[in-house]
Amino acid sequence: MGRAYRVVLAYSGGVDTSVCIPYLKHEWGVEDVITLAVDLGQGAAMEPIREKALKSGAAESLVATVTDQFVKDYAFPALQANALYENRYPLSTALARPLIAKLLVEAAEKHGADAVAHGCTGKGNDQVRFDVSIAALNPNLKVLTPAREWGMSREETIAYGERYGIPAPVKKSSPYSIDENLLGRAIEAGVLEDPWAEPPEEVYAMTKAIADTPNEPEYVEIGFERGTPVSLNGTTLDPVALVTQMNELAGKHGVGRIDMIENRLVGIKSREIYETPALLVLIDAHRDLESLTLTADVTQYKRGIEQTYAQMIYNGLWYSPLRDAMDAFVQKTQERVTGTVRVKLFKGTSTIVGRKSPNSLYSMDLATYGAEDKFDHKAAEGFVYVWGLPTRAWAETGRQ
């Protein structure tokens, strides 16, 4: 890998990405490190992060606030695909990576950098998502990954930073590794590494323990238009406000916790705790509205590809021809997914208790067991006979 002179580094303000700044300059001979901190609604103040990058030796420190774009262009398409990795994880972290990669590439092009850099280690999925997304968007850019190569322990990293004026973390740093944004939190390491150990209550921040949730259920009506959530309890909300409010509502009732063993792309099984209150409720509601408004064959075919869609996001293939093509299919299916889903939140559970749509394919006249029944029972007889013909032939043959 040839030398890079100007690099845009994805910057979080933590020790590792801070240490990347002097490391790139002093070990790898980079002249200018431009940092880019991305606000995805994680609730952190960005100004101190911006200043910390400069104090750590950055030539320039950029901040991008993209929460709106994150929800509209990444979270909602995934929601329309009901994307749940291994049927459980709504990809809150995974969805952020292609957007950060896009911002890195744009900043590199704008500032005349010949490389981008990130602080991912070599064991996780995020390195894959960054590297592959960057390659998809600009295959000529080099990707520098100091933390994947420097081989320093935690203590050595902190000591290295101190030599260049990067303060060691003041409070005893958390035993957990936490990634967060508006969509949720991912927590790993510490005692969580033992898959038998129950997560201590302290790991949770967005969701209440069941013991602390209200003793009365709360109902919320989620309005969808063409597969996108647009309102809560009749009030139209922009995407960020909607997700924020849904997070609060669900979190208050202890809804949104996931404790799972997942299969990383790099072959390792890991134990991860997630809190993704809004996404879990919204996906469940959206899937239900699809059942009301899509034909049987479209519903069932779509369910069959949703797992693949989720895997692509997890495995770093957001910018890929397959996801593009599948997205076109998903978008087409959403044309009639408009309506309202009624959800009951209570003691850690979210239950769908009603749904309605101007495009509903449900017919009371056909479904009822009452006197209004319009279904032609006689017609069923011939249908069942024809439907059963192959089975009948098979059974008769087997008897001889």
Q: Which residues of 118-155 are buried (b: 16+ CB within 10 A; e: fewer)?
A: bbbeeebbbbbbbbbbbbbbbeebbbbbbbbebebeee
Q: Is 238 a catalytic residue?
A: no
Q: Which of 12, 16, 39, 133 is catalytic?
A: 16
Q: Which of 97, 129, 185, 355 is catalytic?
A: 97
Contact letters for ligand ARG, residues 85-104 (x by CB under 6 A): --------xx----------
Q: Which of 126, 131, 284, 288 is catalytic?
A: 126
- 25's tokens: 């300059």
Q: Is 39 a catalytic residue?
A: no
Binds ligand ARG (CB under 6 A): choice among 42, 177, 233, 360: 177
In whole angstroms, the minimum distance from the beta carbon of 12 to ligand ARG comes to 11
In whole angstroms, the minimum distance from the beta carbon of 92 to ligand ARG comes to 7
- Measured from the CB atom, the residue of 23 and 176 that comes closer to ligand ARG is 176
Binds ligand ARG (CB under 6 A): choice among 64, 152, 178, 298: 178
What ranges in the chain are assigned the alpha helix state H? 15-26, 46-55, 67-69, 76-80, 96-110, 126-137, 146-149, 154-163, 239-252, 277-293, 296-314, 321-333, 364-367, 377-387, 389-399
- Measured from the CB atom, the residue of 21 and 186 that comes closer to ligand ARG is 186
Which residues ranging from 230 to 289 are in contact with ligand ARG (CB under 6 A)?
A: 272
* Among the residue ranges 147-155, 166-174, 183-191, 378-386, the one whose residues contact ligand ARG (CB under 6 A): 183-191
- C-beta separation of 74 from 95 below 8 A: yes
- Measured from the CB atom, the residue of 91 and 134 that comes closer to ligand ARG is 91
In whole angstroms, the minimum distance from the beta carbon of 83 to ligand ARG comes to 12
Distance CA 126, CA 147 (A): 13
How far is C-alpha 204 from the geometric centre of its chain's CA atoms?
18
- 160's tokens: 């290295």
- Measured from the CB atom, the residue of 28 and 274 that comes closer to ligand ARG is 274
Distance CA 321, CA 326 (A): 9
Q: Is 365 a catalytic residue?
A: no
- Measured from the CB atom, the residue of 64 and 260 that comes closer to ligand ARG is 260
Distance CA 169, CA 174 (A): 10
The amino acid that residue 336 corresponds to is: R
Nearest to 285 by CA among 260, 250, 317, 318: 250
CA distances to 90, 142, 355 from 350, rounded to whole Å, are 16, 46, 14
- Measured from the CB atom, the residue of 28 and 85 that comes closer to ligand ARG is 85
- Measured from the CB atom, the residue of 82 and 293 that comes closer to ligand ARG is 82
In whole angstroms, the minimum distance from the beta carbon of 228 to ligand ARG comes to 23
By CB under 6 A, tell whether 127 contacts ligand ARG. Answer: no
Q: Is 16 a catalytic residue?
A: yes
277 φ/ψ angles, rounded to the nearest 5 degrees: -60, -55
In whole angstroms, the minimum distance from the beta carbon of 269 to ligand ARG comes to 11
In whole angstroms, the minimum distance from the beta carbon of 11 to ligand ARG comes to 16
Distance CA 211, CA 347 (A): 8
* Among the residue ranges 160-168, 172-180, 213-221, 344-352, the one whose residues contact ligand ARG (CB under 6 A): 172-180
The contact set with ligand ARG (CB under 6 A) reads 93-94, 125, 177-179, 186-188, 272
Catalytic residues: 16, 97, 126, 177
